[in-house]
Chains A and B, each alone.
Chain A
Amino acid sequence: MHVELQTPPAPTPVWPMLRTLGTIATISGLLVVLADQLSQPMIADKQRLLTERRVFQMVPGAVSKRDFVVTPEGRLEAADSGASGDPVYAAYDADGQLKAVAILGTGSGYAGPVQVMFAYDPGCQCLVGSKVLKSNETPGFGDKLDFDPAFLKNFEALDARLNDEGTALANAIVTVKHGTKTEPWQIDAITGATISSRAMGKAANQAAQRAAPAIQRDLAKLTQPN
């Protein structure tokens, strides 16, 4: 009688498997580390240029900028002093006069957070400009935040005065329905993009509440030359 024997499966090649995966992982690790080392300075440089361009775009007439941070204790420190906190950027004109301070805020919009940079003028204690840094808002509606001329009028002089103690804004910045703006600290929403407009209001309020008291208290640090 002829019995057909099933051939046993080939044994798993443990050593070649380990050798191959080990080699590939080593090559891959080396390449990634190399790329990281090479690209870090370039990326940091790009980041700096991008921030600078955005600040100069938002503050007309600005030609130089200095970086500061608002520490969690509410103090303003130079960014290169080693202190950590939320970054703010002081923008100066050609004569070295402080034009405005760029401050950052985030508000949640229709499709995730909206990150905005605002120009804060310590002289008039108001917000004088805005630029959306990052948002996923619907094109054609939410992205009007940067272009709609009527909406941008809100940021010609949006009131951000401090209270008498100088610890917070006297009036929180809020977004109101289109056409119902009555106070200088209110933002007139865009029709059809109310949620995005509200995100902008929240971002403005957050940015000003955090940075304005520190800027006003340590204003001397900003105005004194390098």
Chain B
Amino acid sequence: MAEANQDGAKPTASTPLLTQEETLTADTFIRGLWKENPVFVMLLGMCPTLAVTNSTINALGMGLSTTFVLVFSGILVSLLRHWIPKQVRIASYIVIIATFVTLVDYAIQAISLELYSALGAFIQLIVVNCVILGRAESYASKQRVLPTIVNSLGTGVGFTLALLALGTVREILGQGTLLGIPLFGPDFQPWLVMILPPGGFFVLGAWLLLFNWRRLRLERRAKQSTGVLADAR
């Protein structure tokens, strides 16, 4: 009994494989934000996470672009899920994803050329972002359209929040600004390394440390409380 309790209380980081169709609940959305956060829990999409989070606006641009691609490729994959033979499913997903990435690429150019040049090749590289292919393979290809939209949106918002968590910290420490607005006055000496590539690793490491410390603490607490319960019995 105590053992079963322990197993039940243990928070699992792994994605449960959904084999049957899911009914739409709040968890469909919230999962992507927290329990299955693509960056802090699943450690997917590390390349854009480290590369374009040197400012808040870049992080926001990349996060929203990825969310757009996630949602729309999810819709198409979900609609076509009964027609895609499993032998060519990866090829189909890649073509669908690449299409929406091209649309985002044009859209960003039409909105802001400065953002476009700041994000550089990482817009095109959304095609090979594991977060999106992972959602298509493990969720959209098995679920109805509405849950897919909600779940992809959750994952996208989770990804955007994670990028913002890195981007704001790096911009504040590395440039002393937030969204380009100076925070500390003229005497602030920016901590330059934070907007350089090593800064990405430092800040990501610090966030992961915080999240894992919290997870371990919760696990220990759960273990202690079940231990007390078992003793009481």
Interface residues of A, Cβ cutoff 8 Å to B: 12-13, 16-17, 19-21, 23-25, 27-28, 31-32, 35-36, 38-39, 42-43, 46-47, 50, 134, 138-140
Interface residues of B (CB under 8 A from A): 54, 76, 80, 83-85, 87-88, 91-92, 95-96, 98-99, 102-103, 106-107, 109-110, 112-114, 117, 174, 190, 192, 195-196
| Distance in angstroms between the alpha carbons of A28 and B112 in the assembled complex | 24
Judge whether B110 and A28 touch: CB under 8 Å.
no
Query: How far is A21 from B83 in the complex, measured between Cα atoms in Å?
Result: 10
With A20-B83, A24-B92, A32-B103 given, is the CB distance from A42 to B192 under 8 Å?
Answer: no
- Residue in A closest to B120 when the chains form the complex, CB atoms: A136
Rounded to whole angstroms, the CA-CA distance of A78 and B77 in the bound complex is 50
Nearest CB on B from A41, distance (A): 9
**Nearest CB on B from A66, distance (A):** 21
B106 touches A20 (CB 8 A): no
CB contact under 8 A between A17 and B106, given known A32-B99, A140-B192 = no
* Shortest distance from the beta carbon of A26 to any chain B beta carbon, whole Å: 10
Please name 19 further chain A to chain B contacts, defined as beta carbons within 8 Å, in addition to the given A20-B85, A39-B106, sorted by A numbering: A12-B87, A13-B85, A16-B85, A17-B87, A17-B88, A20-B83, A20-B88, A21-B88, A27-B76, A31-B99, A32-B102, A35-B102, A38-B106, A39-B110, A42-B110, A46-B110, A50-B114, A139-B196, A140-B190
CB-CB nearest in chain A for B98: A28
A31 & B95 in contact (Cβ 8 Å cutoff): no
Alpha-carbon distance A46/B110, docked complex (angstroms): 7
Given the known inter-chain contacts A20-B80, A21-B88, A35-B102, please indicate yes or no for A28 contacting B109, CB distance below 8 A.
no
Chain B residues lying within 8 Å of A31, measured Cβ to Cβ, are 99, 102-103
- The answer to whether A24 touches B95 (Cβ under 8 A) is yes
Cα A24 to Cα B100 with chains together (Å): 12
Q: Which residues of B contact A13 (CB under 8 A)?
A: 85, 87
Residues of A within 8 A of B88 (CB): 17, 20-21
